[in-house]
Structure 1
Amino acid sequence: MLIGYLDRERRYQFNNEAYRAWFNQDPAALRGRLVRDVVGEQAYAATSGYMDRALAGERLDFEATMPYREGFTKHIHTNYVPDVRDGQVIGFYTLVQDVTEQVEALRQVAALNEQLVVINKELATANDELGTANRQLTRTNVDLDNFIYTASHDLRAPITNIEGLLLALREQISASAALSDNLIPQLLDMMQGAVERFQVTIAQLTDIARLQQAHDLATEEVAVAEVVEAVRLDLAPQLTQAAAQLLVDVAPDLRVSFAPKNLRSVVYNLLSNAIKYRHPARQPVVRLRAERREPAVVFTVQDNGLGLSAQQQGQLFGLFQRLHTHVEGTGVGLYMVKRMVENVGGTITVQSQPEIGTTFIIQLPA
Structure 2
Amino acid sequence: MSDQQHNDLSYYMRRLVDHVPSMLAYWDKDLRCRFANKAYKVWFGLTPEQIIGIRMEELLGPRLFALNESYIRGALAGQEQLFERIVPGPDGVQRHSLANYLPDIVDGQVQGFLVQVTEITRLKETEAALRASEAFLDQTGRMASVGGWEVDLRTNAVKWSDQVCRIYDLPPGYQPTREEARQFVDPEAREWLLAKVASGTQSGKPWEAEVPVITAKGRRIWLRCFCEVEFKDGQAVRMFGAVQDITELRSREAELRQEQSLRRRIEQQVVELDRLLKERSEMLDVLAHEVRQPLNNASAAMQSAKASLTGLQDMAAAQRVDRAQKVMNQVMANIDNTLAVAALLAQSAPITRQDTDIDTLIGVVVADMPADERERIQIERLTSTRTASMDMSLMRLALRNLLANALKFSPPDEKVTIQISDSDAPLALIIDVVDHGPGVASDIRPHLFERGAHTHQQPQTGHGLGLYIVRRVMELHGGQVGLVDRETPGTTMRLSIIQAPGS
Q: Which has the higher contact order (CA 8 A, sep 6+)?
A: 1
